[in-house]
């Protein structure tokens, strides 16, 4: 039974589409590292005696000290690419502005040439953004898989030691998840699992980057999105 549950948890890492990362508030390290994590207060659901708990796997992974440290490192790694894409986007915006302000003054050949340049640069920029987002997402997935490999046995151990007969993942909201409602304070084991994992991993809480917002940004927010093309109407010609 234990190995089956572990396999199910590990399978999550291969299929999970992460839409957002966890806030750092769930990753506090216990004041006494050697102390075992305390179980939530009331945890018995009305399921005929079956004790059910919930865990947000996404929050557990990226709310851990290791997850925060590694996602910050990944974002730092992609800063040069982000700057490169911003430069490309700025160039595109400048060319579109030129088209909008000068199209009445340009002859047809110059106008067609400018439009062709904009179209080519827009396609290249869109492709570069997509490639960067896919690469970022793939490396983020690698981080999640690696951490979950180590965290999954801990989830199983904690659940068995605290008498849970079932643990449900609440990473996705209903209706993507089968869980319509639950009393998070009563049944959620995410925080104690993260605290136990932080102690086990020995990774200290990473310092927040200067000027960082409380919540870690979404993966795709590390890449600027293509600007919507402006009108290239030439009816005035």
- pLDDT band, residue 49 (cuts 50/70/90): confident
User: Greater confidence, 137 or 26?
Assistant: 137
3 state SS of 16: coil
3 state SS of 136: helix
Structure tokens of 217?
């940004």
pLDDT digits (tens, 9 = 90+) for 103-153: 888 899 999 999 999 999 999 999 999 999 999 999 999 999 999 999 999
pLDDT of residue 212: 56
- pLDDT band, residue 226 (cuts 50/70/90): very low
Query: Are residues 40 and 192 in contact, defined by beta-carbon separation less than 8 angstroms?
Result: yes
Q: Which residues of 147-160 are buried (b: 16+ CB within 10 A; e: fewer)?
A: bbeebbebbbebbe
- By residue count, the chain amounts to 237
pLDDT of residue 103: 85
**Backbone phi, psi, residue 51, to 5°:** -85, 115
- pLDDT band, residue 209 (cuts 50/70/90): low
Region of residue 106 (phi > 0: left; psi between -120 and 50: alpha; otherwise: beta): beta
pLDDT of residue 210: 64
User: Greater confidence, 103 or 31?
Assistant: 103
Average pLDDT for 35-52: 55
Determine the straight-line distance between the first and last CA of the chain, rounded to whole angstroms.
75
């Amino acid at each position: 039974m234990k190995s089956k549950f572990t396999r199910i948890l590990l399978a999550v890492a291969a299929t999970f589409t992460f839409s957002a990362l966890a806030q750092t508030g769930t990753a506090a390290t216990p004041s006494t590292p050697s102390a075992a994590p305390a179980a939530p207060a009331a945890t018995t659901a009305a399921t005929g005696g079956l004790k059910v708990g919930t865990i947000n796997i996404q929050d557990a992974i990226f709310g851990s000290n290791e997850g925060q440290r590694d996602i910050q490192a990944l974002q730092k790694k992609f800063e040069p690419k982000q700057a490169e894409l911003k430069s490309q986007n700025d160039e595109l915006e400048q060319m579109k502005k030129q088209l909008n302000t000068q199209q009445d003054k340009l002859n047809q050949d110059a106008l067609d040439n400018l439009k062709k340049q904009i179209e080519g640069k827009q396609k290249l920029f869109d492709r570069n953004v997509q490639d960067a987002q896919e690469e970022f997402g793939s490396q983020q997935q690698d981080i999640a898989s690696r951490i979950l490999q180590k965290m999954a046995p801990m989830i199983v151990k904690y659940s068995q030691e605290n008498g849970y007969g079932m643990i449900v993942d609440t990473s996705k909201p209903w209706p993507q998840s089968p869980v319509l409602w639950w009393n998070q304070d009563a049944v959620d084991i995410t925080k104690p699992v993260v605290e136990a994992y932080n102690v086990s991993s020995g990774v200290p809480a990473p310092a927040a980057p200067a000027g960082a917002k409380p919540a870690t940004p979404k993966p795709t927010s590390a890449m600027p999105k293509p600007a919507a093309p402006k009108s290239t109407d030439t009816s005035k010609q």
